[in-house]
Amino acid sequence: MTSLRVGACLSLTGPYARFGVQAAVGLDAWRRLDGGAEVLLEDDGGDRARVPAALRTLAGRCDLLLGPYSTGLTRTAVAVIGESAGLLWNHGGAGDDVQAAAPGHVVSVLTPASRYAEPFLHVLAHRDAPRPLCIVTGVGSFARQVGAGARFRAGELGIEVLEEPHGREWDLLCAGSFEEDVAAVTRARGEERPPRMICAVAAGVREFGDVVAAPEGVHGVAQWFPGRAAAVDLGPTEADLLDACAALTGGTPDYPGVQAAAAAALAVHCARAGGGVDRETLWAVAAALDCATLFGRFRIDPVTGLQTGHDTVLVRWTADGLGR
């Protein structure tokens, strides 16, 4: 197969630029390692109204399509792709409803939002004396789905969930936009009786430590963290991608960059293994996969495309920075 053109709709500007730029770096690093693919980008500006045109532009120029970052933007992208003969590789929309919205048209690599908080809840459940948990969610659908999934799983694990701590010892889970999580954590730590343990989705990226004073002790949820991956079945190794990213930026990427690279690696693998880039061929190969990439395990529901194999990672801030 000749060189493949991979197109990605990303927020290179706008409210999600901190994540879209990381995804762009991850794709550039992956392209350099793959050697047999081109990457074309369209900036959606973090604006849902710009996503359809960006996707259609890419569809006319590319063999494989990667969606945007954020559940909201991805929802728009899925609506567009569901009305076409195309297939979208979803690396940026964790919402359960989004992942399953267009069966046969969307392949997702992310742990769904409803399972996001599971590693933190397992830590809470296995303590000698579990404390009540307060769950604070933002206004978006991603946040609501994380919260709903956490409440359901907490009930299964025997963790009491409260709306307010009412003077009791308590723990806190925050799920919202980056800004919403930062505000919720800051507010909770200023309480007369602050939570004993805090976990925030936003704390899973390094920028959290730039905007929250003394983040030590705060847990985060990440789709990926360095050192997790072992052997890979397809695509670059974690070490190779990290080296390539370091050559581009001088630093280590957060999970938005790695999940985009993994989606691209999976997309080109399916095209090459199937010998074509039509939707039916790509879907058939992807639906049959149960494999490891640098991002972790990949396995989808063969009917809906919902990611079932990948798990999130619990991370924690220390005096040395973000770690596991």
Q: Quick one: 162 and 107 in the same domain?
A: no
CA distances from 254 to 20, 21, 22, 313 (A): 11, 11, 7, 12
What is residue 299's DSSP assignment? -
202 and 257 belong to one structural domain: no
pTM: 0.93
DSSP letter at 312 equals -
Whether the Cβ atoms of residue 203 and residue 218 lie closer than 8 Å to each other? yes
**Sign of torsion, CA 199 202 206 209?**
negative
Provide the residue-wise pLDDT of the chain in tens; the chain has 324 residues. Answer: 679 999 999 999 999 999 999 999 999 999 999 999 999 999 999 999 999 999 999 999 999 999 999 999 999 999 999 888 899 999 999 999 999 999 999 999 999 999 999 999 999 999 877 799 999 999 999 999 999 999 999 999 999 999 888 788 999 999 999 999 999 999 999 999 999 999 999 999 999 999 999 999 999 999 999 987 678 999 999 999 999 999 999 999 999 999 999 999 999 999 999 999 999 999 999 999 999 999 999 999 999 999 999 999 999 999 999 998
pLDDT at residue number 229: 63
Q: What is the pLDDT of residue 167?
A: 81
CATH of the domain at 201: 3.40.50.2300
Last residue of a domain, one of 179, 204, 222: 222
Q: Tell me how many domains the chain contains.
A: 2
206 close to 22: Cβ distance less than 8 angstroms: no
Residues 183 and 235 in one domain: no
Domain final residue pick, 161, 192, 222: 222
Dist CA 93 CA 95 (whole Å): 6
Same domain, 275 and 214: no
Structure-token pair, residue 169: 């010892």
Same domain, 153 and 205: yes
Torsion, Cα of 286, 288, 293, 298 (10° steps)? 90
- Structural domain of residue 89, as residue ranges? 4-111+226-310
